[in-house]
């Protein structure tokens, strides 16, 4: 088990290092820009300020979900006693190197900071350096103690570039964290019973079931990117909402446990957490930030350009891909949804579509598709080669091995 394997008692002198490193600093070190500008009045300036505000919300706002992660699940106790940085990295949590003062960076490099100690995790949380986790660290009996913890959108929808070490680097917002094992993290809670624990532990890394706590069914989906969504008015793999804010409200309230309300008549769902709405006012900025996140271009040399050019011809011709993956966004999502039979990830049991508000699937946008294997909503295809081969078989396209390979190269070039 994650926590027992890495459990390492023993004190470290990190607190001292931190105090020295932080000087009189105001504790954050996040480097996410100054206060939201009052703006010069131009709409471009206002838009930039909205995006900047949304970035802070995306990275650091919990919407008051400490009620779930601290009061109910008691994850702060688990972290304080059993989750070393090594254990945190092992469940796919990421560390933002830009939030670390130089003395900490040096300490990690020279080994003087103990990555096997939960106290180090608490210190990292104090620095706001654990991507997607927001901790409140207070002095209790002269020592730093983690008294509250909550999660943010960045937990699942950001990763890091590993520039410093595996799992430690600069933030890449919008990139799904496919190393993250959300089920394993929830299963650490002493408040989760054995039956539910077994369900959470069955999900595996990069997957999460955002409907399990609603309908009791268990079939996780891959964590999708939150980039490349500009111009797409059909959100989630089943197109449940026409804009991002719809789903952001769903996740913030029903999954993260944020304070606010979500109502969906199609699912006969009406949930209110707490008495103060900490979600609604943040949705416009949060949406603006996500819409500003572009799909990442493929790395230099990651595909064969000549093969990709041939693959484009297959995509638009014999492969019939462009009939659904149409236009610049590679999707017909703004005009139609598709029956479950059109998904190469179906049949599955229970069908994810059957649990959604639309009971249909959206044609996936393909910009940045090179970045987020495995593919389809349940991750059933490991590679883009496999995607092309599955379509060829299931839709009887009659493509040869060369055409399938070319098609995969074309997808990698997007």
Q: Which residues contact ligand HEC by CB under 6 A?
A: 151, 153, 155-157, 182, 208, 210, 221, 223-224, 226, 229, 235-238, 244, 247-248, 251-252, 256, 286, 290, 319-321, 323-325, 338, 342-343, 345, 361, 363-364, 366, 369, 375-377, 387-388, 391, 407, 411
Q: In the complex, what is the shortest distance from the CB of residue 325 to ligand HEC, in angstroms, rounded to a whole number?
A: 5
Q: In the complex, what is the shortest distance from the CB of residue 319 to ligand HEC, in angstroms, rounded to a whole number?
A: 4
Q: In the complex, what is the shortest distance from the CB of residue 172 to ligand HEC, in angstroms, rounded to a whole number?
A: 15
Write the secondary structure of 148-174 as one string of H (helix), E (strand) and C (coil): EEEECCHHHHEEECCCCECCEECEEEC
Q: Which is nearer to ligand HEC, 101 or 182 (CB)?
A: 182
Q: Which is nearer to ligand HEC, 78 or 108 (CB)?
A: 78
Q: In the complex, what is the shortest distance from the CB of residue 267 to ligand HEC, in angstroms, rounded to a whole number?
A: 12
Q: In the complex, what is the shortest distance from the CB of residue 157 to ligand HEC, in angstroms, rounded to a whole number?
A: 5
Q: Which is nearer to ligand HEC, 299 or 341 (CB)?
A: 341
Q: Which is nearer to ligand HEC, 58 or 164 (CB)?
A: 58
CA-nearest of 303, 395, 383, 294 to 342 is 395
| Cβ atoms of residues 363 and 332 within 8 Å | yes
Q: Which is nearer to ligand HEC, 47 or 323 (CB)?
A: 323
In terms of C-beta density within 10 A (0-12 exposed, 13-18 middle, 19 or more buried), how is residue 243 classed? middle
Q: In the complex, what is the shortest distance from the CB of residue 285 to ligand HEC, in angstroms, rounded to a whole number?
A: 11
User: What tokens does 67 get?
Assistant: 């009620």
Q: In the complex, what is the shortest distance from the CB of residue 406 to ligand HEC, in angstroms, rounded to a whole number?
A: 11
The helix/strand count (H/E) of the chain reads as 17, 10
Q: In the complex, what is the shortest distance from the CB of residue 7 to ligand HEC, in angstroms, rounded to a whole number?
A: 24
Q: In the complex, what is the shortest distance from the CB of residue 394 to ligand HEC, in angstroms, rounded to a whole number?
A: 9
Q: Which is nearer to ligand HEC, 107 or 135 (CB)?
A: 135
Write the secondary structure of 341-374 as one string of H (helix), E (strand) and C (coil): HHCCCCCCCCCCHHHCCCCCECCCCCCCHHHCCC
Q: What angle do CA 220, 247, 55 make, to 5 degrees?
A: 105
List the alpha helices (DSSP H) in 23-71. 43-60, 66
Q: Which is nearer to ligand HEC, 25 or 341 (CB)?
A: 341
> What CA–CA distances, in Å, run from 280 to 153, 193, 232?
15, 32, 21
CA-nearest of 155, 29, 171, 172 to 104 is 29
Q: Which is nearer to ligand HEC, 45 or 271 (CB)?
A: 271
339 vs 403: CA distance, rounded Å: 27
Q: What contacts 71, CB < 8 A, 6 or more positions away?
A: none
Q: Which is nearer to ligand HEC, 144 or 403 (CB)?
A: 403
Q: In the complex, what is the shortest distance from the CB of residue 41 to ligand HEC, in angstroms, rounded to a whole number?
A: 28
Which is it for strands 168-169 and 95-96: parallel, antiparallel or unpaired? parallel
Q: Which is nearer to ligand HEC, 114 or 403 (CB)?
A: 403
143 vs 307: CA distance, rounded Å: 60
| Cβ atoms of residues 251 and 262 within 8 Å | no
Q: What is the DSSP letter of 176?
A: -
What are the φ and ψ backbone dihedral angles of 341, each rounded to 5 degrees?
A: -60, -20
């Amino acid at each position: 088990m994650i926590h027992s394997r890495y459990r390492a008692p023993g004190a470290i002198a990190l607190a001292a290092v931190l105090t020295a490193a932080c000087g009189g600093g105001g504790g954050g070190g996040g480097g996410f820009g100054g206060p939201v500008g009052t703006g010069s009045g131009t709409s471009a300036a206002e838009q930039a300020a909205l995006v900047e505000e949304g970035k802070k919300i995306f990275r650091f706002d919990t919407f008051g979900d400490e009620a779930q992660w601290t009061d109910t699940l008691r994850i702060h106790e688990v972290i304080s006693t059993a989750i070393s940085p090594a254990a945190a990295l092992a469940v796919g949590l990421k560390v933002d190197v830009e939030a670390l003062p130089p003395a900490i960076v040096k300490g990690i490099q020279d080994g003087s900071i103990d990555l096997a100690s939960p106290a180090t995790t608490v210190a990292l949380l104090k620095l706001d350096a654990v991507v997607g986790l927001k901790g409140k660290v207070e002095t209790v009996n002269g020592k730093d103690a983690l008294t509250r913890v909550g999660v943010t959108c960045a937990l699942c929808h950001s990763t890091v570039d590993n520039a410093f070490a595996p799992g430690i680097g600069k933030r890449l917002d919008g990139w799904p964290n496919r190393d993250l094992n959300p089920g394993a993290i929830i299963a650490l809670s002493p408040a989760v019973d054995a039956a539910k624990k077994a369900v959470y532990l069955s999900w595996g890394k990069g997957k999460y079931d955002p409907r399990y706590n609603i309908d009791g069914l268990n079939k996780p989906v891959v964590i999708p990117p939150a980039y490349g969504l500009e111009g797409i008015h059909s959100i989630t793999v089943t197109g449940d909402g026409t804009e991002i804010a719809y789903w952001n409200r769903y996740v913030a309230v029903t999954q993260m446990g944020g304070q606010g309300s979500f109502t969906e008549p199609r699912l006969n769902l009406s949930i209110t957490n707490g008495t103060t709405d900490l979600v609604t006012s943040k949705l416009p900025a949060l949406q603006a930030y996500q819409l500003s996140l572009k799909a990442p271009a493929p790395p230099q040399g990651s595909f064969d350009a000549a093969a990709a050019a041939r693959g484009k011809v297959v995509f638009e011709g014999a492969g019939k891909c462009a009939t659904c993956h149409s236009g610049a966004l590679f999707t017909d999502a703004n005009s139609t949804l598709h029956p479950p039979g059109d998904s190469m990830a179906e049949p599955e049991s229970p069908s994810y579509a059957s649990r959604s508000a639309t009971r249909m699937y959206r044609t996936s946008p393909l910009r940045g598709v090179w970045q987020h294997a495995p593919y389809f909503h349940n991750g059933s295809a490991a590679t883009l080669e496999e995607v092309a081969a599955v379509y060829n078989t299931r839709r009887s396209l009659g493509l040869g091995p060369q055409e399938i390979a070319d098609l995969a190269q074309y997808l990698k070039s997007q």
